[in-house]
């Protein structure tokens, strides 16, 4: 896989700032301790005015399960939430599920493995080698970012005991905001435990949260720059990140002597209208470190009665934080979107994947046997 360039133009939203390109380089292998091995893929987003941020995509066993599909034994508790009965699965030994159905505590465990694998890459090893632990602070954004366990991943990979500053930043409705109709409200910034000297010692900020519209992340980065005046590097740990959201964040990286780098799982996403919150996979093979896993994912979701590919609108995160905190709410959101866009439910899609005549099981098994 050679270098890939993807141009973009979001003309309906601030056209003076919404065009540019994403460049992704060839994936590079690296060892991940007891997790085996993985790949990291450096890249960059550049706006038309020359402003840019660095990107890195990661593939390992945990990120692949999170983003694509996986084979597992049927879990009656999980599948009952999704709308299947015990009778429907009693003779099924293995089932293929998408990452959207890894929920609750299971999801928290998986994402901690994935993030720990990311932070073991040469990208971070070189960063840790040039910084002391007192120069690094971690900023998890409540609620989702609290589940990533970034501080624990730093300790596992570098042995550093870093300060952690919890933030609460979220959307509130505001019809005066063009396109998005929402603004960012920040109600918590727990940095009072750090004195003035400790604030000034922080030069590297790790921010933990996924990126849909990018509005929250942009506001958080600007607020951190205000309160930590000597920040030089911002490392954004965003398992999900959309092209549109990255465009918003690139606007932060102007002439303020700060370097922003975003780290995401596997690929970049497409923020869908009308509110650019639900974010689906992009069906461009070159955007995926393992394109065959995306093909399996698309086959699993399949098509609706009108011939539309469901993966083109299936949100990679749906409830975003709800998937960690309220699996039932996640199922409700999945069903609401599937019903509105495709006149289907997640149970409908699960049932047709249980059928040997419609399930891409053989393809799934072969692709995931090759994951390595």
pLDDT value, residue 210? 93
CA–CA dist 297, 304 (Å, integer): 15
Q: Model-level pTM?
A: 0.90
Counted residue by residue, the chain has a size of 372
**pLDDT score of 254:** 52
Query: What is the per-residue pLDDT for 358?
Result: 54
DSSP 62-98: HHHHHHSEEEE---HHHHHHHT--HHHHTT-S-EEEE
Does domain 1-372 fall into CATH 3.40.50.2020?
Answer: yes
pLDDT at 171: 53
Q: Give the pLDDT of residue 362.
A: 53
pLDDT at site 272: 82
- DSSP annotation of 120 reads T
Amino acid 255: pLDDT:
46
Q: Measured between alpha carbons, how far is 190 from 235 in angstroms, rounded to an integer? A: 19
- 110, 152, 60, 145: which is closest to 320 by C-alpha? 145
- 2 exposure class (CB count in 10 Å sphere: 0-12, 13-18, 19+): exposed
The reported pLDDT for the residue numbered 372 is 47
CA-nearest of 314, 272, 282, 144 to 217 is 144
The predicted pLDDT at position 334 comes to: 95
372 residues of the chain, pLDDT tens digit each: 679 999 998 765 554 457 899 999 999 999 998 778 999 999 999 998 888 999 999 999 999 999 999 999 999 999 999 999 999 999 999 999 999 999 999 999 999 999 999 999 999 999 999 999 999 999 999 889 999 999 999 999 999 999 999 998 655 555 555 555 556 666 577 777 888 888 899 999 999 999 988 888 988 998 899 889 899 999 999 999 999 999 989 877 554 678 999 999 999 999 887 767 789 999 999 999 999 999 999 999 999 999 999 999 999 987 678 888 899 999 999 999 999 999 999 999 999 999 765 555 555 555 555 554
For the chain, the structural domain boundaries read 1-372
Q: Which residues make Cβ contacts (< 8 Å) with residue 355, sequence separation at least 6?
A: none
The confidence score (pLDDT) of residue 97 equals: 97
- Determine how many CB atoms are found less than 10 A away from the CB of residue 352: 14
The pLDDT, as a whole number, for residue 313 is 93
């Amino acid at each position: 896989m050679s270098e890939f360039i993807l141009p973009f133009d979001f003309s309906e939203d601030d056209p003076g700032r919404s065009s540019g390109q994403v460049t992704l380089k060839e994936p590079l292998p690296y060892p991940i301790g007891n997790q085996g091995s993985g790949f990291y893929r450096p890249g960059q987003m550049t706006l038309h005015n020359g402003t840019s941020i660095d990107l890195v995509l990661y593939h390992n066993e945990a990120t692949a399960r999170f983003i694509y599909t996986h084979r597992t034994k049927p879990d009656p508790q999980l599948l009952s939430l999704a709308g299947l009965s015990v009778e429907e699965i009693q003779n099924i030994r293995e089932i293929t599920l998408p990452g959207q159905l890894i929920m609750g505590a299971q999801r928290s465990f998986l994402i901690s493995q994935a993030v720990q694998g990311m932070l073991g890459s040469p990208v971070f090893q070189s960063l840790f080698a040039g910084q002391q632990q007192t120069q690094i602070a971690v900023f998890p954004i409540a609620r989702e970012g609290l589940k990533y366990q970034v501080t624990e991943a730093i300790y596992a990979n570098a042995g550093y005991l870093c300060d952690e500053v919890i933030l609460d930043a979220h959307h509130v409705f505001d019809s005066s905001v063009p396109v998005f109709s929402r603004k960012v409200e920040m109600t918590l910034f727990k940095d009072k435990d750090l004195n003035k000297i400790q604030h000034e010692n922080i030069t590297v900020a790790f921010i933990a949260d996924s990126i849909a519209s990018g509005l929250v992340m942009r506001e958080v980065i600007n607020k951190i720059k205000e309160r930590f005046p000597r920040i030089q590097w911002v490392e954004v740990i965003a398992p999900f990140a959309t092209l549109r959201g990255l465009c918003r964040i690139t606007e932060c990286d102007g002439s303020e002597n700060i370097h922003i780098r975003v780290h995401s799982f596997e690929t970049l996403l497409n923020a869908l209208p009308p509110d650019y919150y639900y974010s689906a996979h992009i069906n461009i093979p070159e955007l995926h470190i393992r394109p065959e896993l995306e093909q399996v994912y698309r086959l699993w979701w399949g098509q609706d009665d009108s011939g539309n590919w469901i993966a083109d609108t299936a949100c990679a995160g749906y409830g975003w934080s709800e998937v960690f905190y309220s699996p039932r709410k996640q199922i409700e959101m999945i069903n609401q979107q599937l019903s509105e866009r495709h006149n289907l439910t997640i149970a409908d899609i699960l049932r047709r994947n249980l059928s040997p005549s419609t399930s891409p099981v053989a393809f799934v098994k072969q692709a995931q046997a090759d994951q390595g």
